[in-house]
Amino acid sequence: AQSVTQLDSHVSVSEGTPVLLRCNYSSSYSPSLFWYVQHPNKGLQLLLKYTSAATLVKGINGFEAEFKKSETSFHLTKPSAHMSDAAEYFCVVRDLNTGGFKTIFGAGTRLFVKA
Amino acid sequence: DTAVSQTPKYLVTQMGNDKSIKCEQNLGHDTMYWYKQDSKKFLKIMFSYNNKELIINETVPNRFSPKSPDKAHLNLHINSLELGDSAVYFCASSQVNTGHNNEQFFGPGTRLTVL
């Protein structure tokens, strides 16, 4: 079965410092992976997705993620945090055992950004 | 212009009542979903419909009955509401049949409070 694990429930960084949000996946197929962001009291917005075209994926707002098959990881990074990055982040895998009709969300990582 | 819309945005009701949440997407997608987000921000898929057909039903109580009158709409009716139904419900859509890397687009959510 496919699954996704976000290794940190909370991450706190200072403004201007790098961000690392960790995600590990389990998949018997070549995975379909996504990162979404949810700002307080808002819906979810796609940050980036892994399409197997490139292992380093660039997303919106300066975020990027690197797919590492050997480590079964898809960690999200940003070189310099901004106050507006404070939000909940979800790593998501598409469950191809169900024909791609089901997505599995990680438990989420809350990012705090200190001034 | 809204891609995925939900109504109402807020719903406050008494235990035992029956209520409906409506969802519409204007993206021409073939698949629609309902998710439940609990107070700890955990997102879990409830239902997935592809071309108006139920594909995924994630052991949701049968008090929850989705209905898809056409590919652009997926409504959620809940009978005999319970306190534990209080959550934020998100509708989403995606185009699945042309590729598993297609992301989901989320509605703004409906915050249901059962008193």
What is the per-residue pLDDT across A41-82, written as a single tens digit (0 to 9) for each?
Answer: 888 999 999 977 789 999 999 999 999 999 999 999 999 999
B41 close to A (CB below 8 A): yes
| B100 pLDDT above the threshold of 70 | no
How far is the C-alpha of A96 from the C-alpha of A106, rounded, in Å?
A: 16
Residues in chain B within 8 Å Cβ distance of A110: 41
Complete domains list, chain A, with CATH: 3-114 (2.60.40.10)
Residues in chain B within 8 Å Cβ distance of A104: 45
What percent of chain B is modeled with pLDDT above 90?
77
Average pLDDT estimate for B99-111: 86
Residues with Cβ within 8 Å of residue A95, at least 6 apart in sequence: A1, A2, A101, A102, A103, A104
> How many residues are present in chain A?
115
Give the model's pLDDT for residue A3. 87
**Would the CB atoms of B100 and A103 count as touching at under 8 Å?**
no
Cβ contact B111:B46 at 8 Å: no
Our CA-based measurement puts residue A38 at a distance from the nearest CA of chain B, in whole angstroms, of 10
Q: What band does B19 get if pLDDT is binned at 50, 70 and 90?
A: very high
A109 close to B (CB below 8 A): no
How far is the C-alpha of A103 from the C-alpha of B48, rounded, in Å?
A: 10
Q: Considering just the CA atoms, what is the radius of gyration of chain B in Å?
A: 13
Q: What band does B1 get if pLDDT is binned at 50, 70 and 90?
A: low
B59 close to A (CB below 8 A): no
Give the model's pLDDT for residue A31. 83
A22 close to B (CB below 8 A): no
The DSSP secondary structure of chain A, one letter per residue, reads: --EEEES-SEEEEETTS-EEE-EEEE-SSS--EEEEEE-TT--EEEEEEE-SS-SEEE-GGG-EEEEETTTTEEEEEESS--GGG-EEEEEEEEEGGGTT-EEEE---EEEEEE-
Nearest to A61 by CA among A39, A43, A42: A39
Burial class (CB in 10 A: 0-12, 13-18, 19+), A83: exposed
Complete domains list, chain B, with CATH: 4-97+108-114 (2.60.40.10)
